[in-house]
Structure 1
Amino acid sequence: MSQSIATPPESYRVRIEPVGDGSGARDGAPDLTPREARNRWLAKIRADRAESTVSSYHYRTKHFVEWCEEQQIDQINHLNGWNLDEFEASRRAQGLKTTSLNNELGTLKKLLEYCARIELVDDSLPEKVVPPKVPTEDDVDETRLAEEDALRLLEYYENDPEKRHSRAHVLLALAWFAGPPRLGAIRGLDIGDYHSEEQYVEYHHRPDEETPLKNDARGERAVSLPDRAVEVIDGYIEKNRFDVRDDYGREPLLTSQRGRPSRNAIRTWMYLGTIPCLHAECPHGNNPDSCEYIDYSKASQCPSSRSPHQVRTGAITWMRNNGVPVDVVSARANASVSVIEKHYDKPDYIEEMEKRRRPHLDKLDFEDGRGAGQ
């Protein structure tokens, strides 16, 4: 393939502005603005948290910091309970979902607890933030790539000479068979992490080179691959992978023309690669030749396209439906059993009956051969 290393890969590392010198301090505590206090907190937690966590906290507190600036609250020690309630009311008025509001206020509470600990605000202020309770059904994203849709997509890529071993094909194969991994783990794979003859991939935590794993070094592992996935990866490397390096001289397994793709690029590629009209008639009655969802910028809006997280959820459910023990799934996917059961393993009640309970039906009989109806 052609080589192009014109620009380094996009970083998703949040830039934290330097904190002011605290001029005008009273009683030893500086008069920091809400933005300065937030940035100081993020800089502190960056030392022992995954970059994805720092980024998440940054965006969860972004609206609060901007709201304070709009309200001309220029010192964080001027905040009171009324301000916090007004901020919450403003976010509710914007139609924020309960789950998102819970996340934002929960993170704001953590920020204010830090501020109270270093005496920027009164000790009682964090307790005045009360995140709303989230109903169990709202706390879990039930959307997933269904097993039958994943099979149809894989068959589509395998049977189309132009799509076989394409970037979309290898991305789906990795997301479905290689763990299943999180988006960041796929992005961080290098050519050297893939072992074709031995049929496995290795996931490494490399935060200093902008490819961390969500669970840090605890997320490092080797995951075996089925023949089907190995064939796709080998074909992609031979025919369609761009021979490029990233900004650190590493050779990514999954590439763009410029090097290692950004997280947003991979997310968009997955949306594009899972649009259902690739393998069947459009379930929404649209004409694929004119449908706006085929566009790069609109693929995520297709009601039936799927994100990397939703593909991961579908793959985990598929593994469990096929009898793979939950502890094995846990090790491959690098998620605790409780997290898998709550957030990922999402069979519908028919699947649960047919694929998980029906195989045990022969145990529900009397050992002497006399059925319950006799």
Structure 2
Amino acid sequence: MIIGVPKEIKNHEYRIGMTPVGVRELVNHGHKVLVQSGGGAAIGLANEQYEAAGANLIDKPEDIFLAADMIVKVKEPQPNECKMLRPGQLLFTYLHLAPDPEQTKLLVDSGAIAIAYETVTDDHGGLPLLAPMSEVAGRMAIQAGAHSLEKAQGGNGTLLGGVPGVLPGKVVVIGGGVVGENAARMAMGLGADVTVLDRSLDRLKTLDTLYGPRLKTLYSTVESVEDSVCSADLVIGAVLVPGAAAPKLLKRETLTKMKDGAVLVDVAIDQGGCFETSKATTHQEPTYKVDGVVHYCVANMPGGVARTATFALTNATLPYTIALANKGCQQALADDPHLRNGLNIFKGKVTCEPVAEDLNYDYVPATDLICAG
């Protein structure tokens, strides 16, 4: 199979879909890998490293899209990339389709086969290709939030860890999954006063067992969320409904009750955001204010630590990429129900039920299409 790895073109996105180590593995399996020249340069992965691993360097992305059987990326394809896809071509990347009707339509119209990292599952009910970036984003959320709290950045001037004689800042994390736990760990490490809200009592018990009295846990209701955020200096939105648009947990009217200069970090912005006032921002202009509250809503947050994020992501994606290349798309999807859960678009059909529901497409189960050949 010919695998294409184009350079990412989203604003301040420096990650790349495959490292030289991944190239060497695929070449060792008998496949051909096309990597866009300079695609990994920003994170210290030089053209020479890719060539030494066996990659063919290509200057123009359109040449990669034209020649490759499978495109491996990091972020969702931008409109001009969607238009380069062809019927039957395989795309393996993050998609986040539910809040993005334009991308969904372009992918449906392309006739391509699109597998989303974020909806691939595992035997434990987890999301193994989303987890690495959730870990990165959760930890980054506290870094970003702490910086945004500085007065010069529009925040209220609170140091999360406090100092002797001065209380620490209050951090509220809504959602106790991978993002939430990693955010809480970082905030506790800085010495902040941390509360996690979740609707799963089992998850709250697990967090309580792991972190004890250092971490406060609270069952999530409309009232408990509102009470908690109104006294918080930093709020992390860390909720996820796999494949679907994020639920809006914080309404506009609540902002007027929050501290002036408090900070919201919406890690769910890729899925539309979990705060009513959230809108996607970039690393170039990461924040804006609504009713005195700073919003940090960068849609590709892990791109800010692109080297770490690339290695974390490709460690997880490589086995699936190899399976798709070795077996071919159809057989790999037929053999692995967890990979099949990642299938969002198949030759003009929407195969992810939450996406079909949110965007009013007819839902076609992946098994129906795969079994039909």
Pick the TM interval, shorter chain: under 0.3
Q: Larger Rg: 1 or 2?
A: 1
More strand by share: 2
TM-score by length of 2: 0.24
